[in-house]
Amino acid sequence: MKKKRINKKLLHRLEKRFKLLKKREQGFNLERIVINAFQGLIVLSLVFLSFATPTMLVLNSESLWLSISKHYQGSVENVKIVYQVLHDQKARMHANVNATDIIKYLKQVKHVTLKELQHLMQVKQVVKNFENLTLIIIVLVVLSVFLFVKALTQFFKLLITTGFLILVLVIIIALLLLNFEFSFELFHKIVFKENYSFPQHSFLIQAFPEQFFQTMASIILGIATMIGGLFVSVGKLGLRKTS
């Protein structure tokens, strides 16, 4: 009888321990899932920043705008005006401002249509939103790396994954840009509410011929390629040193 009681007690204790271990394992798995999810978000955010950073550099370089315009014999004066409009922080306007205010703000522009002015204001708002989003993602990435990347090996592996994803995206975008007219129209349909198209003699087309945007896109992809290659190289080098 005593032996039976002892066996029952042992079984009861073992069952308790087994249940406790199971709970701990479930908790650990949940923690692991959360960490993996945030690490995945870090990778996607770094990929976004690898394209967003060169885009912001290109958008904020007046000298680059002017040199591209001169190369393709565009209207340099018109390019200067548009650059000033997009980067005048004191006179920031939203896309919903009325037409009278837009015309007053751009009174220095000649032979420009209302439709072109409205498009410029929408571009201004898109650029502003894009810059704000990029800054928010930078802050979130820095915080996420400190909170969810516990070891250097993890960090280097994330860099390698990010680098390869960037290079794959560069190839895909480069292939899409082979048909630049289609890609440019698709981009406008996604980003802007209205579908804008202007005749060849219009102010914006004279200032920004198709080659202008092709050159900008090539510069952005070139910088993104270098960032992707750098991530892969640093990641592999780091893993070698830590192993």
Instruction: Show the domain range for 134.
Output: 2-242
Residues 203-228 have pLDDT tens digits of 888 888 888 899 999 999 999 999 99
Q: Which residues of 114-141 are buried (b: 16+ CB within 10 A; e: fewer)?
A: eebbbbbbbbbbebbeeeeebeebeeeb
pLDDT greater than 80 at residue 48: yes
Task: Work out the average pLDDT over 113-129.
Answer: 82
Q: How far apart are CA 226 and CA 219, in angstroms?
A: 11
Whole-model pTM above 0.85? Answer: no
Number of domains in the chain: 1
pLDDT of residue 137: 92
